Amino acid sequence: MLWFKNLMVYRLSREISLRAEEMEKQLASMAFTPCGSQDMAKMGWVPPMGSHSDALTHVANGQIVICARKEKKSSRLR
Domain boundaries, the chain: 20-32+41-72
pLDDT at 6: 84
Residue-wise pLDDT for 13-65, tens only, equals 888 888 889 999 999 999 999 999 999 999 999 999 988 999 999 998 888 89
Name, in order, each residue with C-beta under 8 angstroms of 34's C-beta and a sequence gap of 6 or more.
42, 71
What integer pLDDT is reported at residue 5 of this predicted model? Answer: 80
Q: Report, as an integer, the average pLDDT of 70-78.
A: 78
- What is the torsional sign of CA 45, 46, 49, 52? positive
Residue 74 in this model has a pLDDT that exceeds 90:
no
**Higher local confidence (pLDDT), 15 or 76:** 15
